[in-house]
Structure 1
Amino acid sequence: MKTTSPTRARPILLGLGILLVAFNMRPALTTVGPLLERIRAETALSAAGAALLTTLPVLCIGLACTLGPLVMRRFGADRGVLLAVAIVALGSGLRGLGGLGPLFVGACLAAFGIGLSGVLLPGLVKRDFPGLTGFVTGLYTMVLCLGAAAGAGLAVPLANQLGSWPVALGVWALPAILATVAWAPFATGADAQAGHARRISLWRDRIAWQVTGFMGLQSSLAYIMFGWLPLVLHDRGLSAVEAGFVSSLMSIGQAPAALLVPSFAARVRDQRGFAAGLLGLCIVSLVTLVYGPLSWALPVGMLLGAGLGGLFGLGLTIIVLRARDPAAAGSLAAMSQSVGYTLASLGPLSFGLAHDLTGTWAASTALFCAIAIAAFLCSLGAGRDRYVGRG
């Protein structure tokens, strides 16, 4: 009878643990958008407050990313991930208490944990799966997108079934608690060491800034859609449930592209073609959702998801490909996601304010297209076959 050796078992178990953590890296962000109208109606939250609710979490992700290298040196990557997913569980549960205070604080806490785990996971992939970086990155990005889809699609049905939007938000602490328990053995093992991460400064590196720009701008497109697509579709005539369903399908559509794009992109020397095609798909899809027939909403929503999911997986893959070793991958992940997510936070805020100022979605759509074009310009440098540090 064959048994799995410890040397083979640990990578398999570690991979499963990464997938559990990845599943919890989006529901805290995607569950708010479908419930935004109900939250505003029951709490008298203003339009500016709603824009702030979609912006502050992204800012908190950026803040957490700046602390990623410090956490890695102080606790080690494995213990850092445990801390991150525990914070996600705490923040998600806090939202279930009800009221605007717990909602805002819980959203920011959960986002902080999401940002911290996002910085630490690329280094773990580079360290433990050096020959499978594209596949493993694609796999955990796909599961991340499935978590986003679950959050977007179940938010309104859970609120209806439970009779409370705070409880519908708070239940997402449960999968985060499960991930915390599942990851705990890796944080107490012999490999969970701290204090050995090499410090690499990339602030004067041109390629690092190009990667940062691409990561931030493509993330901005996703966060705009997470926060505002349900409201855009609701304004066009879909019910809250239908708009949430399209948003969920958008997230489901991300999964296949998030799996396949990193796998293929890691096999070629130049990733610029992938970036151009995916960004073009996002532009065409959003314009169609805003101005095209509503009967096209479901398939076009999935196409939009494919573009966004592929871009996110491509961004994470580029971080790994542009780094020579795990230390460089960790430093590049911290820089690109801290600055990038801070930049990305301006997207949802600007998208909402443009709508409030004009009363239509035309200016917001134009802003989305401009951000996509800027992401393409950054990809011209980020997608080249170069390494950060010493080209």
Structure 2
Amino acid sequence: MSLRSALLVAGFALAALNLRPAIAGISPLLDEIMNDVGLSPAGGGAITTVMVVCLGVFGPVTPLLARRIGLDRTLLAGLLVIAAGVALRGLDGAPLLYAGSALAATAIAVMNVSMPGVVKQHFPTRVNLLTGVYVSCVVAGAAAASALVVPIEHVTGYDWRAVSALLAVPALLGALLWLPQALRKQAGGQNGPRPFGMVLRSRVTWYITALMGLQSLTFYVMLAWLPTIFLEAGLAADQAGYLLSLTNAVQVGTSLAVPVLAGRRASQVPYVVGAGVLTVLGYLGILLAPTTLPWVWMIVLGIGQGASFALALLIIALRPSDPAQVTALSAVAQSVGYVIAALGPLLFGFLRQVSGGWTVPLMAGLGVLAAQILAGWFAGRPATLGRADL
């Protein structure tokens, strides 16, 4: 591998690492943030809600931005805006906290949509491998942020504002590493026909969108409620936290390996269905025996969820024929997907409230997983996004 190629891959990986810390780094500091700023629990929860909503709402602007300035410069702009957003929310006052969070999440939304197109543009013969690198870096970035922000606070003596602002550093490093690529001549805007019309009229688009949204919903449900489920089942708080960390850690390796294997085949159906079945088994273990070998259920759940996320992004990159179509498909699938995902934890909590336990919510989750497997069956079949499937 040449030095230029190595720097390209390194810059791409570092950009991917920045796609979740601004979100994942809030939760461990939330109690301190609420006490310092004077927020109610609803106000504290609204920080994450605002960010997830931005992920869904602002993704569709990415194809327009990429058409005007190019994917490489769009990615560079996203990294710089993430840095600005996390720095802004560390300033004094609740309005700046929300504004900075929204700004960072808007940049993440644009980068989320851009990354599959960047894979298609720069690594057309290695889509499976680089999708694995991309997804594993996203998962690793989330895990690292949630695990490290509190220890960094204790070691440095900084308050939450300074620690949150430190998340700008990796974004700026990523921008610096990606800058030479963005300055190259071919980083200009994408030419040719506008791809949105074709993408929106394609049945394949909506199969993939359903897969993306449903697997995101089942993931965010577990992210939001898993520790509470284990606590109410009788496990200690530290055990509940460790189990959540375990399932997230398992996803890193799974996200790297599965796209490499699945991308070698024309059909991803066996992998998508298998990932869905493993997620079902994880849900069933939590439902039927949460305190019996819970680490086994977390490993199974982590493999299933990590593979499902990686496969959804792999299929987004594989089905279209060019980077512009990939970006448009990514915008539709991820924007709609994150809106669907944002409803999951809320509806899950509502079912818990009205039913008085976790059986009904988890059964509902199993129903969603059945729909996910069905969507994956159609999305994973060999197809090329284009006029042939309109």
Stretch deviating more after TM superposition (232-241 or 59-68): 232-241
Stretch deviating more after TM superposition (315-324 or 32-41): 32-41
Separation in 2, partners of 1:167, 1:224: 30
Separation in 1, partners of 2:31, 2:229: 11
- Per the alignment, do residues 98 and 251 of structure 1 end up closer, same or farther by CA in structure 2, a change over 3 Å counting? farther
- Per the alignment, do residues 373 and 382 of structure 1 end up closer, same or farther by CA in structure 2, a change over 3 Å counting? same
1:179 matched residue in structure 2: 174
- Per the alignment, do residues 96 and 51 of structure 1 end up closer, same or farther by CA in structure 2, a change over 3 Å counting? closer
2:19 matched residue in structure 1: 25
Q: Are 1:380 and 2:377 matched, yes or no?
A: yes
Q: Are 1:254 and 2:251 matched, yes or no?
A: yes
Query: Is the contact made by 1:51 and 1:352 (CA closer than 8 Å) also made in structure 2?
Result: no
Query: Between the two proteins, what is the percent identity of the paired residues?
Result: 36
Separation in 2, partners of 1:290, 1:32: 28
Query: Is the contact made by 1:156 and 1:241 (CA closer than 8 Å) also made in structure 2?
Result: no
1:143 matched residue in structure 2: 137
Partner of 2:101, secondary structure, is helix
Give TM-score scaled by structure 2 length: 0.88
> Once the 2 structures are TM-superposed, how far is the Cα of residue 182 of structure 1 from its aligned partner?
1.6
Query: Is the contact made by 2:243 and 2:295 (CA closer than 8 Å) also made in structure 1?
Result: yes
Query: Is the contact made by 2:63 and 2:324 (CA closer than 8 Å) also made in structure 1?
Result: no
- Per the alignment, do residues 87 and 340 of structure 1 end up closer, same or farther by CA in structure 2, a change over 3 Å counting? same
Q: Are 1:206 and 2:206 matched, yes or no?
A: no
Partner of 1:191, secondary structure, is helix
Letter in 1 for 2:322: D
2:121 matched residue in structure 1: 127
Equivalence map 1:104-119=2 (5 Å) = 104-119=98-113
Stretch deviating more after TM superposition (162-171 or 367-376): 162-171
Equivalence map 1:166-245=2 (5 Å) = 166-196=161-191, 198-200=193-195, 201=197, 202-236=199-233, 241-245=238-242
Separation in 1, partners of 2:234, 2:34: 19
Partner of 1:220, secondary structure, is helix
Letter in 2 for 1:181: L
**1:351 aligned to which of 333, 338, 348:** 348
2:6 matched residue in structure 1: 12
Separation in 1, partners of 2:298, 2:120: 33
- Per the alignment, do residues 318 and 342 of structure 1 end up closer, same or farther by CA in structure 2, a change over 3 Å counting? same
Query: Is the contact made by 1:55 and 1:349 (CA closer than 8 Å) also made in structure 2?
Result: no
Separation in 2, partners of 1:28, 1:322: 30
Partner of 2:364, secondary structure, is helix
> Once the 2 structures are TM-superposed, how far is the Cα of residue 48 of structure 1 from its aligned partner?
4.6
Q: Deviations over 1:15-38 (max 9, x none)?
A: 111100011111222233444556
Partner of 2:360, secondary structure, is helix
- Per the alignment, do residues 298 and 39 of structure 1 end up closer, same or farther by CA in structure 2, a change over 3 Å counting? farther
Query: Is the contact made by 2:88 and 2:97 (CA closer than 8 Å) also made in structure 1?
Result: yes
> Once the 2 structures are TM-superposed, how far is the Cα of residue 258 of structure 1 from its aligned partner?
0.6
- Per the alignment, do residues 300 and 269 of structure 1 end up closer, same or farther by CA in structure 2, a change over 3 Å counting? same
Unaligned runs of 5+ in 2: none
- Per the alignment, do residues 206 and 244 of structure 1 end up closer, same or farther by CA in structure 2, a change over 3 Å counting? same
- Per the alignment, do residues 243 and 93 of structure 1 end up closer, same or farther by CA in structure 2, a change over 3 Å counting? farther
Letter in 1 for 2:181: F
Partner of 2:200, secondary structure, is coil
Separation in 1, partners of 2:234, 2:377: 39
Partner of 1:384, secondary structure, is coil
Query: Is the contact made by 2:281 and 2:300 (CA closer than 8 Å) also made in structure 1?
Result: no
Partner of 1:176, secondary structure, is helix
> Once the 2 structures are TM-superposed, how far is the Cα of residue 235 of structure 1 from its aligned partner?
4.5
Separation in 2, partners of 1:58, 1:372: 21
Give TM-score scaled by structure 1 length: 0.88
Separation in 2, partners of 1:41, 1:231: 22
Unaligned runs of 5+ in 1: none
Separation in 2, partners of 1:231, 1:37: 16
Separation in 2, partners of 1:140, 1:302: 21
RMSD between superposed Cα atoms in Å: 2.6
Q: Are 1:152 and 2:146 matched, yes or no?
A: yes
- Per the alignment, do residues 367 and 269 of structure 1 end up closer, same or farther by CA in structure 2, a change over 3 Å counting? same
Stretch deviating more after TM superposition (178-187 or 239-248): 239-248
> Once the 2 structures are TM-superposed, how far is the Cα of residue 261 of structure 1 from its aligned partner?
1.1
Stretch deviating more after TM superposition (19-28 or 273-282): 273-282
Q: Are 1:278 and 2:275 matched, yes or no?
A: yes
Q: Deviations over 1:166-186 (max 9, x none)?
A: 444333222122112221222
**1:321 aligned to which of 318, 324, 333:** 318
How many residues are treated as equivalent by the alignment? 385
Letter in 2 for 1:70: L
> Once the 2 structures are TM-superposed, how far is the Cα of residue 43 of structure 1 from its aligned partner?
6.1
Q: Deviations over 1:158-205 (max 9, x none)?
A: 455547444443332221221122212222122211252641122121
Query: Is the contact made by 2:135 and 2:255 (CA closer than 8 Å) also made in structure 1?
Result: yes
